[in-house]
Amino acid sequence: MLIFSELKEQLMQLSEVLSKIEDEQYVRPIVHLGGSTIGQHTRHIIELLNCALKGKSEGVVDYVNRTRDLSLENDRSKALASIALLTPMLKGEDVSLNLITTLQNDAEQSMVQTTFFREIVYNAEHATHHLALIKVALIEMELQIFDDRFGYAYSTLQYKASFSPQS
């Protein structure tokens, strides 16, 4: 189904990059990212996607109180295995969900209505953002191991292609 295709493509691209780097590069603090690592950005992508998938089965998506599995940011193999497990789960019908949220100055949590498909779209946009940050890390490490699509949303790629001369 098309709703899942962009996110699946992003996870495939992330897996390809992770399979080409060394464990040391996965956990190396990146100056241009305030000391964050590829592993930290990868963990964040995986955790939010886990929340959306768990939310589908439970009826409530909770990104705020999610479990943070720090082993995902330190163990590249575990992250790759998690991505491999999550990717085939990206399927199914749309369902209504509740999303737990908090505002910056609001100590109380509240719920807003959402849908599973909307959360998949959010996760694709979220992954795009973090892939772009991972690209900064790869550039800082002088690793040209990604293609021209890495870190760009599908809509941005379409927009850029509309200005490219046709050969």
Percentages helix, strand, coil for the chain (3-state, rounded to 5) are 60, 10, 35
State the average pLDDT over residues 40-50. 98
- Considering the domain boundaries, does residue 75 fall inside one? yes
166 is a domain residue:
no
Structural domain containing residue 111: 2-161
CATH of the domain at 26: 1.20.120.450
In-domain check, residue 167? no
CA distance 30 to 40: 11
User: What are the pLDDT digits (tens) for 109-138?
Assistant: 889 999 999 999 999 999 999 999 999 999
The closest of 12, 17, 90, 78 to 50, measured between CA atoms, is 90
What percentage of the chain has pLDDT greater than the value 70?
96
CB 130 within 8 A of CB 14: no
pLDDT of residue 119: 98
Domain annotation covers residue 45: yes
pTM above 0.85, yes or no: yes
| Residue 25 placed within a domain | yes
Q: Does residue 35 carry a pLDDT above 60?
A: yes
pLDDT band of residue 166 (cuts 50, 70, 90) is low
- Asked if residue 3 has pLDDT above 90, the reply is no
Cβ atoms of 6 and 34 closer than 8 Å: no
**Overall domain count for the chain:** 1
Task: Please write the tens of the pLDDT for every residue from 15-29.
Answer: 999 999 999 999 999
pLDDT digits (tens, 9 = 90+) for 91-111: 999 999 999 998 766 677 889
- State the Cα angle at 87 between 125 and 159, rounded to 5°: 35
Q: Residue 43 corresponds to which tokens in the numbers above?
A: 């963990």
Q: What is the mean pLDDT of residues 131-156?
A: 91
pLDDT digits (tens, 9 = 90+) for 55-83: 999 999 999 999 999 999 999 999 999 99
- Phi and psi at residue 30, to the nearest 5°: -105, 120
